[in-house]
Structure 1
């Protein structure tokens, strides 16, 4: 049997030293056993489980080397606190956990530490809405004011909230204006709706004429979920997504009384970031999850039982072409569309709230998932984009070695 030398590799307690020769068959066998264990962790309800082709040990080993090298060169370069995971066909290829959930208490981040995923939470909010559409309880083109009866804008639909074409201004901007809101008081979702109804807040533009990213859209979507289901957003999300997908470490922060018990947000110098009046809304943010739980959701999105094929076609297509360029936005997902079919569609969502900088990449043509959550204000989370062309056909994404 041919012997080869590997660089130092670590995975879930299995280490391979660069100082000795190893039998590659034994290395693959040991890793295969561990991968089987990891795969069980992301198995969904049978109704929504997807049967992918098995990932070969050779692919796992070769891809892991690519991913791990990238991770240490581009992301985990000192100061990274958080979770990093790459999977193929729902199977974990590589994962790593660094830093502190609470630096003061020296509580470390691990694979079950729920993290504030900032705007990556919009994907979860959007999927909650799509699940209701899938069940016939809501329509994408239903006007919002037929659901939230006091909503003052006639031409805004559920779809226009999902794809940021509603024209609703960001609540952080209009609440900062004199006489609109007392910024010493925490703003809630219901407060945002009440201000839209009573303060004569003007739209930034006529609905469905252009794209402008606004957190207000997803605050309203969370309210729609509550109105349609007659449950709290947390309970509705639990019924529609979390329980069937066994996402046991995912929840909505809808009550700030418990904020001290959560994973905290930090500056790069390890100083904790403070909360303020904008930290009370949810749907746009304030969803806590883990990389492994997010992988469960990603896997379910390949199931036509979870979201219909037709509805997913609506989700993963661009809606905004007023400006030239490859960047676009679907329903709760960002994308880069290749020109002239030169490469595969790149779909993702980034997040940033306080020190929480996050990235979720779903390469659907390749059934590859890349997840990076961090709470240490590190922009390295956004480097995940550079991993895509190393793993698939994405020539339009620049690689910086």
Structure 2
């Protein structure tokens, strides 16, 4: 049986590939594009033989596949000591309409049902919003992606290894080699309630990697290493060039123009008034071992994510944003700028992170015209995926996260209703 993640990628990727006959997007980076075989081999996340189209429309096809998998998820395998599994929200939009549904529980202890359009933490999907703001700044002539970070934030840059060689392009495409501050600060948040709610300034997040070894020299055409540090630096650069806070920029550049009333670039620790769901985290190696602990991580301080992952949103807002982004509605130059945003940088190790190409805050998900990103906080996992040519947008989130171990990944994605 396909997981929810697999089902949606199967539907989306097979539809996208069928339309373009396996062609690829070209890269606008300084590096030569890495060519992927979309028709098979190791980078193929879909299998046309597994797709069963029960609907007569695109919306019907995707919806039927996803809901069938969710309905048949094996809840029986959930640990006995936690009989009420957390929940999932699904939003699917096409030109024909929208499908929204909530499953499971927003509060596992109280058995409060998950609302259809619940506000959830979207984690690293925040990077797509930040990438959009960056492209708006490029349009306005405030910066160039080939500029060095030292030109905009010299006081912060002095603490960053190789800062004189790191361009904005390198930051946006995770091509810097910088250590991920989240490996220390965010993981340490699981140690105590105090750590979980502790607030950090963006400068403190960056300064926390001081003395950590870099993985490779910035601009190395064969290397990609996903690092939240990169996007905190981009957020600081945006604040510097605009002389405004990132909250203001987010509101003025995206949230207000699209009337995304359910979306907030959040600062601090959320509560019941900010979220419509509790967040949960499985601590230790596996969900089925006797020492696994399900933590309520709702109060995790989103300042620890900031430009790398501090947005709270709804499924309806996320698909609205995806459609507007793909149609160029957020850019003065329209789809021309959106295409520049998709100047995908490609390396052979990118598949390990769930991408076949990575642009400016936006990933390519193993099929032409299939744009995607994922996110995880200490209590939520989410991903949204969209196709411009086929005009569909999908957002899925669950209020459950876990350590990134093989055992947990297998259980998350194949046993319980996993996120896309």
Corresponding pairs, count: 314
Deviations 1:93-129 (A, max 9, x none): 3221234444456654434432101112211121122
- Structure 2 unaligned spans of 5+: 1-53, 76-84, 189-193, 283-292, 402-411
1: CA distance, partners of 2:302 / 2:94:
37
Larger RCO: 1 or 2 (CA < 8 Å, sep 6+): 2
**Does structure 2 conserve the Cα–Cα contact (< 8 Å) formed by 1:337 and 1:345?**
no
Give RMSD over aligned pairs.
3.3
**Alpha-carbon displacement from aligned partner over 1:10-40 (angstroms, at most 9, x marks no partner):** xxxxxxxxxxxxxxxxxxxxxxxxxxxxxxx
Q: In structure 2, do the counterparts of structure 1 residues 74 and 299 end up closer, same or farther at CA, with 3 Å as the change threshold?
A: same
> Within 1, Cα distance between the matches of 2:110 and 2:187?
38
Residues 99/132 of structure 1: CA separation in 2 closer, same or farther (3 Å cut): farther
Larger Rg: 1
Show the counterpart of 2:360: 331
What's the offset of the Cα at 1:200? 4.1
What pairs up with 1:282-321 in 2 under 5 angstroms?
282-307=306-331, 308=333, 309-321=335-347
Matched, 1:264 2:278: yes
1:56-82 CA distances to partner (integer Å, 9 max, x unpaired)? xxx986444433332233235354613
Aligned to 2:50: none
CA drift at 1:331 = 1.5
Q: What are the Cα deviations for residues 176-230 of structure 1, in whole angstroms up to 9, with x where unaligned? A: 999xxxx95543312123445xx44443211011210011111112222222222
Matched-pair contact (CA < 8 Å) for 1:84–1:97? yes
Between the aligned partners of 1:270 and 1:176, the Cα distance in structure 2 is: 17
* Residues in 2 aligned to 1:123 and 1:381: alpha-carbon distance in whole angstroms: 24
Q: SS at the partner of 1:372?
A: strand
Alpha carbons of 1:221 and 1:324: their partners in 2 closer, same or farther (altered >3 Å)?
closer
Deviates most, 235-244 or 303-312: 303-312
How many angstroms apart in 1 are the aligned matches of 2:271 and 2:239?
Answer: 22
- Check whether the contact 1:118–1:352 (CA below 8 A) recurs between aligned residues: yes
Alignment of 1:90-101 (within 5 A): 92-101=97-106
Residue 381 of structure 2 aligns with which residue?
A: 357
SS for the counterpart of 1:361 is strand
1:55 paired residue number = none
Q: CA deviation at 1:382?
A: 5.7
- 2:157 maps to 1:128: no
TM-score (norm 1): 0.68
